Chains A and B, each alone.
Chain A
Amino acid sequence: GNSVTQMEGPVTLSEEAFLTINCTYTATGYPSLFWYVQYPGEGLQLLLKATKADDKGSNKGFEATYRKETTSFHLEKGSVQVSDSAVYFCALRVNAGNMLTFGGGTRLMVKP
């Protein structure tokens, strides 16, 4: 089956620190990969995506590279801000199907 595994949170960083949130996946088929972000009191929002191997998705200073050889899609940001505090979800979709499979989410807390 399809599954997504994320690192356990919470991740607590100081402002301007480097961020990595690990995400690995298993998929029956060729997946597209996504990162969603959930700010407090809100629904999930698409942050970035990559649809084929070696693609890099990027948005708002966040990046993730689709690594087929390691089945990973780690989220990175060079310098986090307090406003980045949120829960981050890694997700995949296989082939032309419409279902997203989500990871368990990783809470990020950035302190000033």
Chain B
Amino acid sequence: DAGVIQSPRHEVTEMGQEVTLRCKPISGHNSLFWYRQTMMRGLELLIYFNNNVPIDDSGMPEDRFSAKMPNASFSTLKIQPSEPRDSAVYFCASSLQGSYGYTFGSGTRLTVV
């Protein structure tokens, strides 16, 4: 099992550009979570999906952020337009609903200059 796969690992972009982060969950997992981690705010849940349906997006900071899960094996988190304060490490995690653990990806380090 390759685990949760995120791409890219690192992204540097200019302010105002569109950024798309990608996640492939573990096969068979039916819940997917997007987190953001910064030194100032720690680990924040942005949005999560059950069976490809968004359940709670209250953590999405503003309309510049959007997330999709078109099928069970792929999700995207898009930021448009990006701003320097979006610089963070973004993690994707998946789990089987009702099970105990999340499996996290290695994260995407986003730097907006």
Contacts and interface: CB of A to CB of B under 8 A. Distances in A.
* Range for the number of chain B residues in contact with chain A: 20 to 34
A5 B60 CA distance: 23
Given A43-B107, A49-B100, A89-B43, A98 B93 contact: no
Contacts, number: 44
A43 B98 contact: no
B34 interface: no
Interface in A62-108: 89, 93, 96, 98-100, 102, 104-105
B100 A43 contact: no
Given A98-B50, A98-B98, A105 B42 contact: yes
Contact of A105 (B31, B43, B91): B43
Given A51-B100, A98-B98, A42 B106 contact: yes
Given A96-B98, A105-B42, 6 more contacts: A34-B101, A44-B91, A46-B101, A46-B102, A51-B100, A99-B45
14 contacts: A43-B106, A44-B93, A45-B104, A46-B100, A46-B101, A49-B101, A98-B31, A98-B97, A99-B56, A100-B102, A102-B42, A102-B43, A104-B43, A105-B42
Interface of B: 4, 31, 42-43, 45, 48, 50, 56, 91, 93, 95, 97-98, 100-102, 104-107
